[in-house]
Amino acid sequence: MTSSYQPNLSHCGIFCRDLGLMKSFYGGVFDLIETDRGRGVTFQFEIIFLSARGDQHHQLVLAGGRGSDAPSTVMQLSFKVQTIDDLREARRRALALGATKMRGLNHGNALSIYCMDPEDNTVEVYLDTPWYVSQPHGDPLDLDRPDEELWAETERMVRADPSFMPVSEWSGRFAERNAALKKGLS
């Protein structure tokens, strides 16, 4: 293994019952646009490729072929945003486009909203915080409160957790652990 080997998860795909409905939902909530569409060569069903970035052909792939009775096997699809107002906007758009079971969770290391898309797949929209606490961690999150209150409450909560550290410290520890693991493999 070379030291430059560092794969990044770049996109995911989900099977859908109604491609038009799902394209409208993900396009409307996350500004994803269709980059390509067609019938798969190895996957013999209609496929729609969606992206919000000019440097990434697709971030989400919607594939036909999910049976009308088939349950979702998606644990969650997560989208990262930059501000609390972005979380509020994602919530507004998702609800307007048919999302259900909307809820907010404060994970300490992230502020998140969760909902079900129109085909009952769990969708998360989250904002990183500058802090680390061990996961899973989830306190209620009320996005109708002012930003200052949310940040102050989050900082109080994480500092009371025995696993608390600034995310920069956690990242440094992760890099050391990862380097040691790689060294042990070579």
Number of helices (H), then strands (E), in the chain: 4, 11
Number of domains comprising the chain: 2
Confidence of residue 3 (pLDDT cuts 50, 70, 90): low
Q: Which residue has the higher pLDDT, 186 or 107?
A: 107
Residues 85 and 96 in one domain: yes
Residues 61 and 89 in one domain: no
Contacts of residue 9, defined as CB under 8 A and 6 or more positions apart, other chains included, come to none
Q: Per residue in 44-54, is it b (16+ CB within 10 Å) or e — as a string? A: eeebbbbbeee
Residues 81 and 109 in one domain: yes
Residue 115 has pLDDT above 90, yes or no: yes
67-95 mean pLDDT:
94
CATH number at residue 114: 3.10.180
Kind and range of the H or E element at 183?
helix 167-185
**Four-residue CA torsion sign, 149, 77, 182, 163:** positive
Residues 91 and 63 in one domain: no
Write out pLDDT tens, residues 4-34.
666 677 789 999 999 999 999 999 999 999 9
**Does residue 4 lie in a domain region?**
no
Residues 106 and 182 in one domain: yes
**Does residue 166 lie in a domain region?**
yes
28-57 mean pLDDT:
92
What is the predicted pLDDT for the residue at 4?
63
Domain boundary among 23, 38, 68: 68
Residue 1 has pLDDT above 50, yes or no: no
Range of the domain at 156: 71-186
Tokens of 137: 């961690």
What is the predicted pLDDT for the residue at 40?
81
**Does residue 1 lie in a domain region?**
no
State the burial class of residue 109 (Cβ atoms within 10 Å of its Cβ: 0-12, 13-18, 19+): buried
Indicate the pTM of the whole model.
Answer: 0.87
**Does residue 3 lie in a domain region?**
no
Confidence of residue 57 (pLDDT cuts 50, 70, 90): very high
56-64 mean pLDDT:
94
Write out pLDDT tens, residues 131-177.
999 999 999 999 999 999 999 999 999 999 999 999 999 999 998 88
